[in-house]
Structure 1
């Protein structure tokens, strides 16, 4: 605006100052997968675990998304988007109706899948003995137990199904022992005691605390006793539409991290389909690269050996696809966390706690710091790891871009790797890739004012000034390497890279060079023996 000075007086003019470059968000995660409830393919902002339960339900067995979000908040995350996916197939929950004097109580598994066909429900009475005659009578108070036949667990060595192996791991990890019911051995997975009827208290307690079952309908009456536990039936595996869930993220701004933990439950004939899982992961990596703002923490298939997980990453396991992208990373092995609702330990894929450490490290230091090591990689809520790894194991895993979870003496369970799955040595380290994503997105968001401005020296000077100020701040914070700003970065926006022919096309070029800080992945302490001599100062 050109001022008109037509009369004597004081005129106030506001002079535009440097336009600051605002840093893009780096720790807003997206979790795509199976949830108990909620809208389908609709990214929903969640800022706490309580907010998640209100929108999407509780922790569910064989629904890995809920556990990943739970661990994200436990390990330092502050906000995320959750996308519930639908079923492209004919997935069904296993179910049973417990008879009563009325219409009965229908129990479903908490998530779809044939895994629920192994479960049974046992209804038992409390008993009491009269003081006088010593007669034992049944109390009106009854208990509900979720059980599995002991032979299902004990004979699982010949059964390669993912569902069975996870139940075996659950029984073993929690030290469950067999219970005899009507002459047969069972393992009790969950127990709910002290009910007098199947009313609101019964429904609320089971549906909010069980990870295995849900009460779908009830007549409110007490279920009848049965001689033996009643089997759930009809469960069928789903074909989860993970790709549509991931594509729904294209409309969300401000995302920076991605996890799709339910890739681990992709099965074929009950067995983990690692080829299909690697294909789905690659589709997620392609999405991240196309969007330019997302970084994908991928999960390994369950129960794989060190050799198999290397084969999974390189694409030689079951004719899978190699994972090769600077926009993602792979963690191994699975982790065990404590579920306070069931007072038991549960196996989960590692992406949830890993992204929680990303958010924590971004908030306390910055995106340029690797979320790994005994401090920033410490997973406080992880109680144990599915496989104890050795230095020799990591000698195989680390060069292949597989980040390990390790249990270290004096430090506990930590993330002990900081690499992408890329074969390009420029992008070996995830902190370097995430720093460049951060800078690129920050400049993209904050330089929108430049579009349609006159492409002249004044614009070039303003852009150079603003970008240099932003990068200088990053250098001062320790994100860039160099003793001086000139060593850490350069910004070129002048006639040398904007000649007349490019200006005639409406194009403005801003060339930026960054010297990122690389993590000290290998610390070599060199010690030599000092030989005493006449000049040793002794």
Structure 2
């Protein structure tokens, strides 16, 4: 109490009730390979253009760029990107005179593409003209839908999805190629040439240039020397422990982990996914949107999730993650071609959109909140019977529905614990827990007495009442929706003497209407019906 020593008017500021501030729920982290940028440094981005400036453009077989692009396109507003070190991975390469041409990302996939230099006119079979055209091509004889490698499957599907037809290169030859990209109107291999290719091609990056007009290649020239990248994702993931404000996680390049033979390494992929889930469980603030391997059947993806698909492949079981199947096709805005990607990017965009428009307690699924308008098709059309296998196993389907398009048609976590079946329930509890943790720091070292108990109970109750009024908790009244206990009953002298303050909170979450059953019966007219 202040001792006043002279008469007068004195001002005292009386502390008011402290409010619990809700944490952000839609800031995502994307971890994996990028074209450039700092390694193992979480970098905050607020637009796709910011990503391009910092980390480069679209790159084939490197999924982070596509995921970030889709995240912003589908409703995301802020994310962190962590570039993983490719280790011993190398991009395939070739030279055109003194100009170096590289694949857009490391890996053996680049060993399957070629570059062709022809005249910039219809006289491509004659002597070189000042103007030349560069084409990215692939030998049609190597493209097969029966390919067992991930890169082979992706290329075969790319050719089919974009309706490409094989052409003879040179025009008088007998060997045919699929033309993946065409860039024309060049006269020199200079800085302008490099800038245009590097900013627009998803298959190539130009290194050193000699400033000369490269000779016509005749037959397309293959890229060679590509080496698969090392799995350095765990080190990149660990950097997220120091970042505050994160709530969502995607590691799309887990889907690109392959064996030395180029086949999807499902055991390593599952182990890597569990590493991400373990991080989320440790931090208790992250929710992981999982990308499964590409090209899998319904039965294979169920086996992958349960840990029975490959030797030493662990099961995937956690309330801190959700898996979305199958992959999706999006449009590359630079060249208007369809590209296959894992679904985490557009899915997280819908998470952010739903959080902003409704709340974290709403499932990011259905024909409204789950509508992915930038997705042009799904890699596999699923039937109701297919989803009968997926849903009970905690695998969320991405489906094409008549009149509604491509939508997220599942809202479950990968957990076997029935308390945490639904994504919205787990994310609601993350939101409440982190909001209370951040806003109650002032309580530490305060006097552990009735006044403190009353203040804490009042602040938490006010926060949860607002959440209930928004539709985040179930109940006709606040008393039915939640309870808060912080008094002598759970803080006896024995615990207070050890410095503990216990706050018991119970929430009644709103569950999604996953199964809508319309019950119709035939009404029989009775004798007194008036008919």
TM range (shorter): over 0.9
Say yes or no: does 1:311 pair with 2:299. Answer: no
Instruction: Report deviation, 1:136.
Output: 8.0
The residue aligned with 2:140 is 150
Cα drift, residue 198 of structure 1: 1.2
Counterpart Cα distance in 2 of 1:536 and 1:256? 60
**Cα distance in 1 for residues equivalent to 2:530 and 2:142:** 74
Q: Indicate the residue corresponding to 1:526 in structure 2.
A: 519
Given that 1:31 and 1:260 are in contact with CA atoms closer than 8 Å, whether structure 2 keeps it comes out as yes
Distance 1:362 1:226 in 2: 53
Alignment equivalent of 1:416, drawn from 409, 414, 420: 409
Q: SS of 2:119's equivalent? A: strand
Note the C-alpha offset of 1:536: 2.4
Aligned to 2:281: 289
1:366-399: CA deviation from partner (whole Å, max 9, x where unpaired):
0000000000000000000000000110111001
The offset of 1:128, in angstroms, is 6.5
Structure 2 Cα separation of the partners of residues 298 and 149 of structure 1: 34
Aligned residues: 525
In structure 1, distance between residues paired with 2:477 and 2:228: 59
Q: Report the equivalent of 1:132.
A: none
C-alpha contact (below 8 Å) 1:127/1:136 kept by paired residues: no
Deviations 1:311-338 (A, max 9, x none): 0010001131111000001000000000
Does the Cα contact within 8 Å between 1:128 and 1:137 map onto a contact in 2?
Answer: no
- Asked whether the 8 Å contact 2:33–2:86 carries over to 1, the reply is no
Instruction: Please name the residue that 1:403 is paired with.
Output: 396
Contact persistence 1:127–1:138 (CA under 8 A): no
> Is residue 2:161 matched to residue 1:177?
no
| CA distance in structure 2 between the partners assigned to 1:413 and 1:146 by the alignment | 31
Deviation, 1:137, is 7.6
Distance 1:73 1:518 in 2: 28
Q: Give the 4+ runs in structure 1 shifted more than 4 A.
A: 135-138
Which string of whole-angstrom CA distances, capped at 9 and with x for unpartnered residues, describes residues 173-200 of structure 1? 1000011013110000111011111122
- Partner Cα separation in structure 2 for residue 537 and residue 306 of structure 1: 55
Distance 1:91 1:519 in 2: 44
- Give the match for residue 368 of structure 1: 361
Task: Decide whether the 8 Å contact of 1:128 with 1:136 is kept in 2.
Answer: no
Change (3 A) 1:307 1:136: closer
User: Could you tell me how far apart the structure 2 residues matched to 1:517 and 1:461 are?
Assistant: 28
Given the alignment of the two structures, is residue 443 of structure 1 paired with residue 431 of structure 2, yes or no? no
Q: Give the equivalent residue in structure 1 for 2:246.
A: 255
Q: 1:497, CA displacement in angstroms? A: 0.2
Quick one: distance in 1 between partners of 2:206 and 2:150? 25
Normalising by structure 2, we get a TM-score of: 0.97
Which residue does 1:112 correspond to in 2? 106
- Is 2:36–2:54's contact at 8 Å kept on the other side of the alignment? yes
Given that residues 297 and 355 in structure 1 are in contact (C-alpha distance below 8 angstroms), is that contact kept between their aligned partners in structure 2?
Answer: yes
Q: 187, 190, 204: which is aligned to 2:181?
A: 190
How much does 1:138 deviate?
Answer: 5.6
Q: By how many angstroms is 1:533 displaced?
A: 2.4
How far, CA to CA, are the matches of 1:394 and 1:402 in structure 2? 9
331, 340, 343: which one aligns with 2:336: 343
SS in 1 for 2:131: strand
Match status 1:125 vs 2:123: no
8 Å CA contact 1:127, 1:137 repeated in 2: no
Structure 1 residues without counterparts, runs of 5 or longer: 130-134
- Per the TM alignment, residue 15 of structure 1 is displaced from its structure 2 partner at its CA by 1.4
Q: CA deviation at 1:454?
A: 0.4
Cα deviation for residue 220 of structure 1 reads: 1.3
Alpha-carbon shift at residue 250 of structure 1 (Å): 0.1
Report deviation, 1:12: 1.7
C-alpha separation between the residues in 2 aligned to 1:374 and 1:282?
30
> Do the aligned partners of 2:128 and 2:215 also contact (CA within 8 Å) in 1?
no
Of the three residues 91, 95, 108, the one matched with 1:97 is 95
Q: Could you tell me whether the CA contact under 8 Å between 2:304 and 2:315 is conserved in 1?
A: yes
Where does structure 2 lack aligned partners over 5 or more consecutive residues? none
Residue 9 (structure 2) pairs with residue 15 (structure 1): no
- Which secondary structure does the structure 1 equivalent of 2:363 belong to? coil
C-alpha separation between the residues in 2 aligned to 1:477 and 1:213?
A: 50
Per-residue deviation, 1:239:
1.1
Q: CA RMSD in A?
A: 1.3
CA–CA distance in structure 2, aligned partners of residues 537 and 505 of structure 1:
77
Q: Provide Cα deviations, 1:320-370, integer angstroms capped at 9, x if missing partner.
A: 111100000100000000001121000000111110000000000000000
Q: Does 1:234 align with 2:225?
A: yes
Return the offset for 1:71: 0.6
CA displacement 1:75-108 (0-9 Å, x = unmatched): 00000000000134x2111000101xxxx11000
For 1:513 and 1:164, locate their aligned partners in 2 and report how far apart those are by CA, in whole Å: 52
State the alpha-carbon separation in 2 of the partners of residues 460 and 30 from structure 1.
37
